[in-house]
Structure 1
Amino acid sequence: MRSHFLITACFAALSVSVAVSAQTSLSYEGSSTIGRFISDASEVYPHARFTLNTVPESAGGEQCAVRQRCDLGGVAREIAPAFLERGLVKTLIAKDAIAALVHKDNPINALSKEQLRGIFSGNIKNWSEVGGNDAAITVFVVKEASATHQVFADAILDGHDYGAVEVITPDARMLPTISRDVNAIGQLSFAFLDPNFQVKPLTIDGQIASVENPNYPISRPLYLVTYGEPKGAVKDFLDWTLSPEGQAVIKKRFVGVK
Protein backbone atom coordinates (compact mmCIF):
# COMPACT_ATOMS: atom_id res chain seq x y z
CA MET A 1 0.00 0.00 0.00
CA ARG A 2 2.81 2.43 0.95
CA SER A 3 4.66 1.62 -2.29
CA HIS A 4 1.48 2.25 -4.31
CA PHE A 5 1.01 5.62 -2.53
CA LEU A 6 4.59 6.70 -3.31
CA ILE A 7 4.25 5.78 -6.96
CA THR A 8 0.96 7.67 -7.20
CA ALA A 9 2.43 10.73 -5.47
CA CYS A 10 5.50 10.71 -7.70
CA PHE A 11 3.33 10.42 -10.80
CA ALA A 12 1.18 13.34 -9.65
CA ALA A 13 4.27 15.48 -9.00
CA LEU A 14 5.66 14.55 -12.41
CA SER A 15 2.36 15.54 -14.04
CA VAL A 16 2.43 18.94 -12.38
CA SER A 17 6.05 19.41 -13.41
CA VAL A 18 5.26 18.56 -17.03
CA ALA A 19 2.28 20.93 -17.03
CA VAL A 20 4.35 23.80 -15.68
CA SER A 21 7.27 23.20 -18.00
CA ALA A 22 4.86 23.04 -20.98
CA GLN A 23 3.73 26.58 -20.28
CA THR A 24 5.43 29.00 -22.68
CA SER A 25 7.54 31.87 -21.38
CA LEU A 26 7.01 35.21 -23.15
CA SER A 27 9.20 38.25 -22.57
CA TYR A 28 7.82 41.78 -22.73
CA GLU A 29 9.81 45.01 -22.82
CA GLY A 30 8.76 48.62 -23.32
CA SER A 31 5.96 50.97 -22.30
CA SER A 32 5.07 50.85 -18.60
CA THR A 33 1.51 51.80 -19.59
CA ILE A 34 1.11 48.69 -21.73
CA GLY A 35 2.95 46.80 -19.02
CA ARG A 36 -0.11 47.36 -16.83
CA PHE A 37 -2.16 45.35 -19.32
CA ILE A 38 0.46 42.59 -19.53
CA SER A 39 0.36 42.30 -15.73
CA ASP A 40 -3.45 42.12 -15.78
CA ALA A 41 -3.39 39.55 -18.59
CA SER A 42 -0.85 37.36 -16.80
CA GLU A 43 -3.42 36.75 -14.07
CA VAL A 44 -6.00 35.26 -16.43
CA TYR A 45 -4.14 34.05 -19.53
CA PRO A 46 -3.29 30.40 -18.79
CA HIS A 47 -0.96 29.54 -21.66
CA ALA A 48 2.16 31.57 -20.87
CA ARG A 49 4.32 33.01 -18.13
CA PHE A 50 5.45 36.60 -18.68
CA THR A 51 8.64 38.42 -17.81
CA LEU A 52 8.34 42.21 -17.83
CA ASN A 53 10.87 44.99 -18.24
CA THR A 54 9.24 48.44 -18.38
CA VAL A 55 12.30 50.52 -17.51
CA PRO A 56 13.18 51.33 -21.16
CA GLU A 57 9.61 52.54 -21.91
CA SER A 58 8.31 52.82 -25.49
CA ALA A 59 11.69 53.52 -27.12
CA GLY A 60 12.95 50.31 -25.55
CA GLY A 61 9.93 48.42 -26.89
CA GLU A 62 10.91 49.27 -30.45
CA GLN A 63 14.59 48.52 -29.83
CA CYS A 64 14.16 45.16 -28.11
CA ALA A 65 11.75 43.84 -30.73
CA VAL A 66 13.80 44.87 -33.76
CA ARG A 67 16.92 43.40 -32.14
CA GLN A 68 14.94 40.24 -31.29
CA ARG A 69 15.76 40.52 -27.58
CA CYS A 70 12.12 40.19 -26.50
CA ASP A 71 9.03 38.38 -27.76
CA LEU A 72 6.80 41.44 -27.44
CA GLY A 73 7.61 45.14 -27.36
CA GLY A 74 5.19 47.75 -26.07
CA VAL A 75 4.90 51.18 -27.70
CA ALA A 76 2.41 53.76 -26.41
CA ARG A 77 2.50 56.08 -29.44
CA GLU A 78 2.83 55.78 -33.20
CA ILE A 79 5.72 53.53 -34.23
CA ALA A 80 8.74 55.31 -35.68
CA PRO A 81 8.71 54.59 -39.47
CA ALA A 82 12.37 53.57 -39.40
CA PHE A 83 11.50 50.59 -37.20
CA LEU A 84 8.68 49.48 -39.48
CA GLU A 85 11.16 49.57 -42.37
CA ARG A 86 13.47 47.33 -40.35
CA GLY A 87 10.83 44.64 -39.97
CA LEU A 88 8.69 45.56 -36.97
CA VAL A 89 5.04 44.55 -37.20
CA LYS A 90 2.57 46.45 -35.04
CA THR A 91 -0.70 45.26 -33.54
CA LEU A 92 -3.09 47.90 -32.20
CA ILE A 93 -4.51 46.54 -28.94
CA ALA A 94 -6.08 49.59 -27.28
CA LYS A 95 -6.28 53.37 -27.01
CA ASP A 96 -5.18 55.35 -23.98
CA ALA A 97 -5.61 58.86 -22.62
CA ILE A 98 -3.12 61.01 -20.70
CA ALA A 99 -4.26 63.07 -17.76
CA ALA A 100 -3.09 66.43 -16.49
CA LEU A 101 -3.14 65.69 -12.75
CA VAL A 102 -3.38 67.97 -9.72
CA HIS A 103 -3.87 67.42 -6.01
CA LYS A 104 -7.48 66.77 -4.95
CA ASP A 105 -7.39 69.85 -2.70
CA ASN A 106 -6.42 72.14 -5.56
CA PRO A 107 -9.50 74.29 -6.36
CA ILE A 108 -8.74 74.10 -10.08
CA ASN A 109 -10.82 71.45 -11.87
CA ALA A 110 -10.46 72.54 -15.49
CA LEU A 111 -7.94 74.30 -17.69
CA SER A 112 -7.64 75.14 -21.37
CA LYS A 113 -4.88 73.76 -23.58
CA GLU A 114 -3.50 77.31 -23.73
CA GLN A 115 -3.30 77.50 -19.94
CA LEU A 116 -1.65 74.07 -19.74
CA ARG A 117 0.83 75.15 -22.41
CA GLY A 118 1.70 78.18 -20.30
CA ILE A 119 2.19 76.07 -17.18
CA PHE A 120 4.29 73.29 -18.73
CA SER A 121 6.39 75.70 -20.81
CA GLY A 122 7.10 77.83 -17.73
CA ASN A 123 5.29 81.00 -18.83
CA ILE A 124 2.64 80.59 -16.13
CA LYS A 125 4.28 80.11 -12.74
CA ASN A 126 1.55 80.83 -10.18
CA TRP A 127 -1.85 79.20 -9.74
CA SER A 128 -3.45 82.63 -9.32
CA GLU A 129 -2.78 83.28 -13.03
CA VAL A 130 -5.34 80.59 -13.93
CA GLY A 131 -7.87 81.32 -11.18
CA GLY A 132 -6.33 79.29 -8.37
CA ASN A 133 -4.57 80.04 -5.11
CA ASP A 134 -1.67 82.47 -4.84
CA ALA A 135 1.01 79.76 -4.85
CA ALA A 136 3.89 78.78 -7.07
CA ILE A 137 3.18 75.87 -9.43
CA THR A 138 5.41 72.82 -9.17
CA VAL A 139 5.51 71.03 -12.54
CA PHE A 140 6.36 67.35 -12.83
CA VAL A 141 6.84 65.35 -16.03
CA VAL A 142 7.72 61.74 -16.75
CA LYS A 143 11.11 60.93 -18.26
CA GLU A 144 11.74 61.60 -21.95
CA ALA A 145 11.93 57.89 -22.82
CA SER A 146 8.30 57.50 -21.75
CA ALA A 147 5.91 58.01 -24.66
CA THR A 148 3.69 60.02 -22.30
CA HIS A 149 6.34 62.77 -22.31
CA GLN A 150 6.22 63.32 -26.08
CA VAL A 151 2.51 62.62 -26.65
CA PHE A 152 1.62 65.24 -24.03
CA ALA A 153 4.02 67.73 -25.63
CA ASP A 154 2.56 67.13 -29.09
CA ALA A 155 -0.99 67.65 -27.84
CA ILE A 156 -0.40 70.59 -25.49
CA LEU A 157 2.86 72.46 -26.07
CA ASP A 158 2.31 73.27 -29.77
CA GLY A 159 6.00 73.19 -30.61
CA HIS A 160 7.18 74.85 -27.39
CA ASP A 161 9.68 73.18 -25.07
CA TYR A 162 9.01 72.09 -21.52
CA GLY A 163 10.07 74.76 -19.05
CA ALA A 164 11.58 74.30 -15.59
CA VAL A 165 10.16 70.91 -14.69
CA GLU A 166 11.06 68.08 -12.35
CA VAL A 167 11.37 64.62 -13.91
CA ILE A 168 9.65 61.67 -12.25
CA THR A 169 10.71 58.08 -12.94
CA PRO A 170 9.25 55.54 -13.15
CA ASP A 171 5.86 56.90 -14.29
CA ALA A 172 3.96 55.32 -11.39
CA ARG A 173 5.80 57.60 -8.92
CA MET A 174 3.77 60.53 -10.27
CA LEU A 175 0.78 59.63 -8.08
CA PRO A 176 2.51 59.72 -4.66
CA THR A 177 4.54 62.77 -5.76
CA ILE A 178 1.46 64.86 -6.54
CA SER A 179 -0.34 63.48 -3.49
CA ARG A 180 2.32 65.13 -1.32
CA ASP A 181 2.17 68.56 -2.98
CA VAL A 182 -1.09 70.54 -3.16
CA ASN A 183 0.51 72.95 -5.66
CA ALA A 184 1.77 70.27 -8.04
CA ILE A 185 0.70 69.39 -11.56
CA GLY A 186 1.85 66.44 -13.61
CA GLN A 187 1.10 64.14 -16.56
CA LEU A 188 0.24 60.46 -16.45
CA SER A 189 -1.56 57.73 -18.38
CA PHE A 190 -5.06 56.99 -17.14
CA ALA A 191 -3.91 53.39 -16.73
CA PHE A 192 -2.06 54.37 -13.54
CA LEU A 193 -4.88 56.31 -11.86
CA ASP A 194 -5.72 54.98 -8.42
CA PRO A 195 -8.42 56.34 -6.06
CA ASN A 196 -6.14 55.65 -3.09
CA PHE A 197 -4.01 58.69 -4.04
CA GLN A 198 -4.93 62.34 -3.50
CA VAL A 199 -5.01 63.31 -7.17
CA LYS A 200 -7.60 64.26 -9.78
CA PRO A 201 -7.48 64.60 -13.58
CA LEU A 202 -8.38 67.99 -15.05
CA THR A 203 -11.05 68.71 -17.63
CA ILE A 204 -9.29 70.18 -20.69
CA ASP A 205 -11.01 72.62 -23.06
CA GLY A 206 -14.33 71.55 -21.58
CA GLN A 207 -13.70 67.86 -22.27
CA ILE A 208 -14.06 65.59 -19.26
CA ALA A 209 -10.96 63.52 -18.53
CA SER A 210 -12.04 60.01 -19.42
CA VAL A 211 -10.76 57.26 -21.70
CA GLU A 212 -14.39 56.86 -22.80
CA ASN A 213 -14.60 60.47 -24.06
CA PRO A 214 -13.59 60.42 -27.76
CA ASN A 215 -13.18 64.21 -27.73
CA TYR A 216 -10.68 64.31 -24.87
CA PRO A 217 -7.66 66.04 -26.45
CA ILE A 218 -4.73 63.92 -25.19
CA SER A 219 -5.05 60.36 -26.48
CA ARG A 220 -2.78 57.82 -28.15
CA PRO A 221 -2.68 54.33 -29.64
CA LEU A 222 -1.20 51.38 -27.77
CA TYR A 223 0.74 48.81 -29.82
CA LEU A 224 2.36 45.47 -29.21
CA VAL A 225 5.19 45.00 -31.72
CA THR A 226 7.04 41.95 -32.98
CA TYR A 227 9.95 41.37 -35.32
CA GLY A 228 8.22 40.00 -38.38
CA GLU A 229 4.74 38.53 -38.42
CA PRO A 230 3.84 37.01 -35.03
CA LYS A 231 3.96 33.23 -34.83
CA GLY A 232 3.34 30.44 -32.37
CA ALA A 233 2.76 31.41 -28.74
CA VAL A 234 3.18 35.12 -29.53
CA LYS A 235 0.44 34.99 -32.17
CA ASP A 236 -1.78 33.00 -29.81
CA PHE A 237 -1.44 35.69 -27.17
CA LEU A 238 -2.09 38.52 -29.64
CA ASP A 239 -5.16 36.69 -30.95
CA TRP A 240 -6.38 36.32 -27.37
CA THR A 241 -5.71 40.02 -26.69
CA LEU A 242 -7.99 40.98 -29.59
CA SER A 243 -10.65 38.43 -28.61
CA PRO A 244 -13.67 39.41 -26.49
CA GLU A 245 -11.96 37.85 -23.44
CA GLY A 246 -8.73 39.79 -23.95
CA GLN A 247 -10.50 43.04 -24.75
CA ALA A 248 -12.47 42.69 -21.52
CA VAL A 249 -9.11 42.84 -19.71
CA ILE A 250 -8.04 45.81 -21.86
CA LYS A 251 -11.21 47.72 -20.97
CA LYS A 252 -10.36 47.70 -17.28
CA ARG A 253 -7.88 50.52 -18.02
CA PHE A 254 -8.20 51.53 -21.69
CA VAL A 255 -10.54 51.94 -24.64
CA GLY A 256 -10.82 48.68 -26.54
CA VAL A 257 -10.40 48.30 -30.28
CA LYS A 258 -12.87 45.44 -30.73
Structure 2
Amino acid sequence: MAALGLSGCSSSEDGGVLTVAGSTTVMPIAEMAAEQFEEETGTKVLVSGLGSSAGIEAVQNGTADIATSSRGLTEAEAATDLVTTVVALDGIAVIVNDDNPVSGLTMDQLRSIYAGETTNWSEVGGDDLQILVVNRDEASGTREAFKKIVMDGTPFDRSAAVLPGTGQVRDVVSRTAGAIGYISIGFVASDFTSSTVKSLAIDGVAATEENVENGTYPVSRDLYFFTKGDPSGKVEDYIELVLSDEMSQTIRDAGYLPLSDASYQARAKAAGAEEGGDAS
Protein backbone atom coordinates (compact mmCIF):
# COMPACT_ATOMS: atom_id res chain seq x y z
CA MET A 1 0.00 0.00 0.00
CA ALA A 2 2.97 2.30 0.59
CA ALA A 3 3.94 1.69 -3.01
CA LEU A 4 0.52 2.81 -4.18
CA GLY A 5 0.77 5.93 -2.09
CA LEU A 6 4.12 6.76 -3.61
CA SER A 7 2.74 6.51 -7.11
CA GLY A 8 0.28 9.27 -6.42
CA CYS A 9 3.14 11.64 -5.59
CA SER A 10 5.59 10.52 -8.23
CA SER A 11 3.98 9.16 -11.36
CA SER A 12 5.72 7.64 -14.36
CA GLU A 13 5.18 10.81 -16.36
CA ASP A 14 6.72 13.36 -13.97
CA GLY A 15 8.87 11.56 -11.40
CA GLY A 16 10.62 8.72 -13.18
CA VAL A 17 8.75 6.10 -11.15
CA LEU A 18 6.52 3.30 -12.46
CA THR A 19 4.03 1.56 -10.21
CA VAL A 20 2.92 -1.97 -11.09
CA ALA A 21 0.26 -3.59 -8.90
CA GLY A 22 -1.97 -6.64 -8.96
CA SER A 23 -1.70 -10.40 -9.34
CA THR A 24 0.68 -12.39 -7.14
CA THR A 25 0.88 -14.89 -10.00
CA VAL A 26 2.21 -12.30 -12.44
CA MET A 27 4.40 -10.66 -9.79
CA PRO A 28 7.59 -12.66 -10.63
CA ILE A 29 7.43 -11.48 -14.24
CA ALA A 30 6.84 -7.87 -13.18
CA GLU A 31 9.68 -7.99 -10.63
CA MET A 32 12.23 -9.50 -13.00
CA ALA A 33 11.34 -6.96 -15.67
CA ALA A 34 11.50 -4.17 -13.06
CA GLU A 35 15.05 -5.06 -12.09
CA GLN A 36 16.21 -5.10 -15.68
CA PHE A 37 14.29 -1.92 -16.56
CA GLU A 38 15.86 -0.04 -13.65
CA GLU A 39 19.34 -1.15 -14.72
CA GLU A 40 18.77 -0.09 -18.32
CA THR A 41 16.86 3.18 -17.79
CA GLY A 42 17.41 4.30 -14.20
CA THR A 43 13.64 4.43 -13.69
CA LYS A 44 12.44 3.04 -10.37
CA VAL A 45 9.71 0.40 -10.69
CA LEU A 46 7.57 -0.34 -7.64
CA VAL A 47 5.90 -3.76 -7.80
CA SER A 48 3.26 -5.00 -5.36
CA GLY A 49 1.02 -8.10 -5.24
CA LEU A 50 -2.42 -6.96 -4.11
CA GLY A 51 -4.51 -9.34 -6.20
CA SER A 52 -5.75 -8.92 -9.76
CA SER A 53 -8.93 -7.01 -8.88
CA ALA A 54 -7.07 -4.60 -6.59
CA GLY A 55 -4.49 -3.93 -9.29
CA ILE A 56 -7.17 -3.17 -11.87
CA GLU A 57 -8.89 -0.82 -9.43
CA ALA A 58 -5.56 0.92 -8.73
CA VAL A 59 -5.05 1.62 -12.43
CA GLN A 60 -8.62 2.83 -12.81
CA ASN A 61 -8.26 5.34 -9.96
CA GLY A 62 -4.79 6.45 -11.02
CA THR A 63 -2.71 5.06 -8.15
CA ALA A 64 -0.87 2.56 -10.37
CA ASP A 65 0.47 2.75 -13.91
CA ILE A 66 0.08 -0.93 -14.79
CA ALA A 67 -2.21 -3.62 -13.38
CA THR A 68 -0.98 -7.20 -13.50
CA SER A 69 -3.74 -9.77 -13.70
CA SER A 70 -4.24 -13.50 -14.00
CA ARG A 71 -7.81 -13.01 -15.24
CA GLY A 72 -9.39 -11.13 -18.09
CA LEU A 73 -11.56 -8.07 -17.65
CA THR A 74 -15.14 -8.34 -16.47
CA GLU A 75 -17.85 -6.95 -18.74
CA ALA A 76 -18.01 -3.78 -16.67
CA GLU A 77 -14.22 -3.34 -16.67
CA ALA A 78 -14.03 -3.95 -20.40
CA ALA A 79 -16.48 -1.10 -20.94
CA THR A 80 -13.95 1.38 -19.51
CA ASP A 81 -10.79 2.78 -21.12
CA LEU A 82 -8.59 -0.06 -19.87
CA VAL A 83 -6.26 -1.47 -22.52
CA THR A 84 -5.25 -5.14 -22.43
CA THR A 85 -1.83 -6.61 -23.16
CA VAL A 86 -1.34 -10.38 -22.95
CA VAL A 87 2.16 -11.02 -21.58
CA ALA A 88 2.40 -14.77 -21.00
CA LEU A 89 0.56 -18.08 -20.76
CA ASP A 90 0.20 -20.01 -17.51
CA GLY A 91 -1.21 -23.31 -16.32
CA ILE A 92 -3.09 -23.69 -13.05
CA ALA A 93 -1.84 -26.76 -11.20
CA VAL A 94 -4.12 -28.65 -8.84
CA ILE A 95 -1.94 -29.57 -5.87
CA VAL A 96 -2.15 -32.07 -3.00
CA ASN A 97 0.08 -33.20 -0.18
CA ASP A 98 3.08 -35.30 -1.21
CA ASP A 99 1.75 -38.27 0.79
CA ASN A 100 -1.58 -38.35 -1.04
CA PRO A 101 -1.64 -41.49 -3.27
CA VAL A 102 -4.05 -39.91 -5.78
CA SER A 103 -2.19 -38.95 -8.94
CA GLY A 104 -4.97 -37.50 -11.06
CA LEU A 105 -8.60 -36.41 -11.27
CA THR A 106 -11.09 -35.93 -14.05
CA MET A 107 -12.47 -32.44 -14.54
CA ASP A 108 -15.83 -33.67 -13.25
CA GLN A 109 -14.22 -35.06 -10.08
CA LEU A 110 -12.33 -31.81 -9.50
CA ARG A 111 -15.51 -29.77 -9.94
CA SER A 112 -17.36 -32.07 -7.54
CA ILE A 113 -14.65 -31.64 -4.89
CA TYR A 114 -14.71 -27.86 -5.14
CA ALA A 115 -18.51 -27.85 -5.07
CA GLY A 116 -18.44 -29.77 -1.78
CA GLU A 117 -20.16 -32.83 -3.28
CA THR A 118 -17.15 -35.17 -3.03
CA THR A 119 -15.78 -34.94 0.51
CA ASN A 120 -13.53 -37.99 1.01
CA TRP A 121 -10.45 -39.03 -0.96
CA SER A 122 -11.71 -42.63 -1.00
CA GLU A 123 -14.41 -41.50 -3.46
CA VAL A 124 -11.74 -40.73 -6.07
CA GLY A 125 -9.40 -43.66 -5.48
CA GLY A 126 -7.50 -42.39 -2.47
CA ASP A 127 -7.34 -43.13 1.26
CA ASP A 128 -10.29 -42.87 3.62
CA LEU A 129 -9.47 -39.27 4.46
CA GLN A 130 -11.58 -36.14 4.54
CA ILE A 131 -10.83 -33.64 1.78
CA LEU A 132 -9.88 -30.15 2.93
CA VAL A 133 -10.73 -27.81 0.08
CA VAL A 134 -8.48 -24.76 -0.13
CA ASN A 135 -9.76 -21.88 -2.25
CA ARG A 136 -8.52 -18.36 -3.05
CA ASP A 137 -10.26 -15.14 -2.07
CA GLU A 138 -12.56 -13.27 -4.44
CA ALA A 139 -9.88 -10.70 -5.35
CA SER A 140 -7.77 -13.45 -6.89
CA GLY A 141 -7.51 -13.68 -10.65
CA THR A 142 -6.45 -17.31 -10.27
CA ARG A 143 -9.75 -18.02 -8.51
CA GLU A 144 -11.66 -16.33 -11.34
CA ALA A 145 -9.82 -18.36 -13.95
CA PHE A 146 -10.36 -21.60 -12.01
CA LYS A 147 -14.03 -20.74 -11.55
CA LYS A 148 -14.49 -20.17 -15.27
CA ILE A 149 -12.47 -23.16 -16.51
CA VAL A 150 -13.25 -25.79 -13.88
CA MET A 151 -16.50 -24.85 -12.12
CA ASP A 152 -18.33 -23.81 -15.31
CA GLY A 153 -21.26 -22.26 -13.44
CA THR A 154 -21.25 -24.65 -10.46
CA PRO A 155 -20.96 -22.74 -7.15
CA PHE A 156 -17.91 -23.20 -4.93
CA ASP A 157 -18.25 -25.00 -1.60
CA ARG A 158 -18.86 -22.21 0.92
CA SER A 159 -17.17 -24.19 3.70
CA ALA A 160 -13.82 -24.25 1.87
CA ALA A 161 -10.80 -22.60 3.47
CA VAL A 162 -10.13 -19.27 1.73
CA LEU A 163 -6.57 -17.94 1.54
CA PRO A 164 -5.27 -14.66 0.08
CA GLY A 165 -2.15 -15.75 -1.78
CA THR A 166 -0.33 -18.45 -3.72
CA GLY A 167 2.27 -18.97 -1.00
CA GLN A 168 -0.33 -19.54 1.68
CA VAL A 169 -2.17 -22.12 -0.44
CA ARG A 170 1.04 -24.01 -1.14
CA ASP A 171 2.08 -23.95 2.50
CA VAL A 172 -1.26 -25.23 3.84
CA VAL A 173 -1.43 -28.04 1.28
CA SER A 174 2.16 -29.08 2.01
CA ARG A 175 1.35 -29.40 5.72
CA THR A 176 -2.12 -30.97 5.54
CA ALA A 177 -2.60 -34.60 4.47
CA GLY A 178 -6.10 -34.24 3.04
CA ALA A 179 -5.80 -30.78 1.48
CA ILE A 180 -6.27 -29.81 -2.14
CA GLY A 181 -5.54 -26.41 -3.68
CA TYR A 182 -4.62 -24.74 -6.93
CA ILE A 183 -1.69 -22.51 -7.84
CA SER A 184 0.27 -21.47 -10.89
CA ILE A 185 2.39 -24.28 -12.33
CA GLY A 186 5.41 -22.03 -11.86
CA PHE A 187 4.97 -22.20 -8.08
CA VAL A 188 4.63 -25.99 -7.68
CA ALA A 189 8.37 -26.40 -7.27
CA SER A 190 9.94 -23.69 -5.12
CA ASP A 191 13.53 -22.97 -4.13
CA PHE A 192 12.41 -20.72 -1.28
CA THR A 193 10.85 -23.32 1.01
CA SER A 194 11.61 -26.85 2.17
CA SER A 195 7.93 -27.85 1.98
CA THR A 196 6.82 -29.74 -1.11
CA VAL A 197 3.56 -30.49 -2.89
CA LYS A 198 2.64 -32.50 -5.96
CA SER A 199 0.41 -31.61 -8.87
CA LEU A 200 -2.37 -33.85 -10.18
CA ALA A 201 -3.00 -34.81 -13.77
CA ILE A 202 -6.38 -33.53 -15.00
CA ASP A 203 -8.28 -35.72 -17.45
CA GLY A 204 -5.11 -37.79 -17.77
CA VAL A 205 -2.88 -34.84 -18.72
CA ALA A 206 -0.01 -33.86 -16.43
CA ALA A 207 0.34 -30.24 -15.32
CA THR A 208 3.59 -29.50 -17.13
CA GLU A 209 4.88 -26.52 -19.06
CA GLU A 210 5.06 -28.65 -22.22
CA ASN A 211 1.39 -29.67 -21.95
CA VAL A 212 0.29 -26.09 -21.34
CA GLU A 213 2.30 -25.01 -24.36
CA ASN A 214 0.88 -27.66 -26.68
CA GLY A 215 -2.67 -26.98 -25.50
CA THR A 216 -3.42 -30.40 -24.02
CA TYR A 217 -3.52 -29.39 -20.33
CA PRO A 218 -7.09 -28.15 -19.74
CA VAL A 219 -6.58 -25.69 -16.86
CA SER A 220 -4.59 -22.85 -18.41
CA ARG A 221 -5.03 -19.11 -18.93
CA ASP A 222 -3.48 -15.93 -20.26
CA LEU A 223 -1.66 -13.48 -17.99
CA TYR A 224 -2.24 -9.77 -18.53
CA PHE A 225 -1.08 -6.21 -18.10
CA PHE A 226 -3.78 -3.51 -18.08
CA THR A 227 -3.25 0.20 -18.57
CA LYS A 228 -5.57 3.19 -18.53
CA GLY A 229 -5.61 4.06 -22.20
CA ASP A 230 -2.88 3.11 -24.64
CA PRO A 231 0.51 2.81 -22.90
CA SER A 232 3.01 5.56 -23.64
CA GLY A 233 6.36 6.83 -22.41
CA LYS A 234 8.07 4.75 -19.74
CA VAL A 235 4.97 2.58 -19.33
CA GLU A 236 5.16 1.57 -22.98
CA ASP A 237 8.92 1.01 -22.73
CA TYR A 238 8.48 -1.29 -19.72
CA ILE A 239 5.77 -3.34 -21.44
CA GLU A 240 7.89 -3.63 -24.57
CA LEU A 241 10.72 -5.03 -22.44
CA VAL A 242 8.41 -7.69 -20.98
CA LEU A 243 7.31 -8.69 -24.48
CA SER A 244 10.82 -8.69 -25.94
CA ASP A 245 12.89 -11.71 -26.88
CA GLU A 246 15.33 -10.48 -24.26
CA MET A 247 12.87 -11.45 -21.51
CA SER A 248 11.69 -14.74 -23.02
CA GLN A 249 14.05 -17.09 -21.20
CA THR A 250 13.65 -15.20 -17.93
CA ILE A 251 9.88 -15.61 -18.11
CA ARG A 252 10.28 -19.28 -19.01
CA ASP A 253 12.65 -19.80 -16.08
CA ALA A 254 9.89 -18.45 -13.81
CA GLY A 255 7.60 -21.24 -15.04
CA TYR A 256 5.55 -19.32 -17.60
CA LEU A 257 5.40 -19.27 -21.39
CA PRO A 258 6.51 -15.97 -22.96
CA LEU A 259 4.29 -14.37 -25.54
CA SER A 260 7.17 -14.12 -27.99
CA ASP A 261 7.39 -17.92 -28.37
CA ALA A 262 6.21 -19.01 -31.81
CA SER A 263 4.29 -21.89 -30.25
CA TYR A 264 2.34 -19.48 -28.05
CA GLN A 265 1.66 -17.15 -30.96
CA ALA A 266 0.15 -20.08 -32.86
CA ARG A 267 -1.93 -21.10 -29.84
CA ALA A 268 -3.16 -17.54 -29.28
CA LYS A 269 -4.11 -17.23 -32.94
CA ALA A 270 -6.07 -20.48 -32.82
CA ALA A 271 -7.87 -19.40 -29.64
CA GLY A 272 -8.75 -16.05 -31.18
CA ALA A 273 -10.20 -17.73 -34.25
CA GLU A 274 -12.23 -20.09 -32.09
CA GLU A 275 -13.56 -17.48 -29.65
CA GLY A 276 -13.79 -14.47 -31.89
CA GLY A 277 -10.55 -12.91 -30.60
CA ASP A 278 -9.45 -11.19 -27.40
CA ALA A 279 -7.88 -7.86 -26.57
CA SER A 280 -4.14 -7.91 -27.03
- 2:178 counterpart residue number: 183
The structure-2 alpha-carbon separation of the partners of 1:255 and 1:177, relative to structure 1 and needing over 3 Å to count, comes to same
- 1:3 counterpart residue number: none
Equivalences for residues 158-169 of structure 1 within 5 A:
158-163=152-157, 164-169=159-164
Once the two structures are TM-superposed, the CA of residue 53 in structure 1 deviates from its matched residue by 2.4
Equivalences for residues 21-170 of structure 1 within 5 A:
24-45=16-37, 46=39, 47=41, 48-55=43-50, 57-163=51-157, 164-170=159-165
1:200, 1:160 → 2: CA distance?
A: 26
1:44, 1:224 → 2: CA distance?
A: 17
- 2:187 counterpart residue number: 192
The 8 Å contact of residues 100 and 187 in structure 1, kept in 2 or not, is answered as yes
Deviations 1:152-197 (A, max 9, x none): 1222223111112001122211111111111110111123223443
2:247, 2:238 → 1: CA distance?
A: 9
- 2:258 counterpart residue number: 256
The sequence identity of aligned pairs, in percent, is 33
TM-score, normalisation: structure 1: 0.86
Once the two structures are TM-superposed, the CA of residue 89 in structure 1 deviates from its matched residue by 0.9
Equivalences for residues 239-254 of structure 1 within 5 A:
239-252=240-253, 253-254=255-256
Letter in 2 for 1:172: G
Letter in 1 for 2:197: V
TM-score, normalisation: structure 2: 0.80
Deviations 1:37-63 (A, max 9, x none): 1122233332232212212x1112221
How many positions carry a matched residue from both structures?
Answer: 236
Once the two structures are TM-superposed, the CA of residue 251 in structure 1 deviates from its matched residue by 1.5
Letter in 1 for 2:149: A
Which of 208, 220, 224 does residue 206 from structure 2 map onto? 208
2:45, 2:136 → 1: CA distance?
A: 25
1:166, 1:79 → 2: CA distance?
A: 26
> What secondary structure is seen at the aligned counterpart in 2 of 1:251?
helix
The 8 Å contact of residues 140 and 164 in structure 2, kept in 1 or not, is answered as no
1:247, 1:198 → 2: CA distance?
A: 27
Unaligned runs of 5+ in 1: 1-22
The 8 Å contact of residues 72 and 224 in structure 1, kept in 2 or not, is answered as yes
**4+ aligned runs moved over 6 Å, structure 1:** none
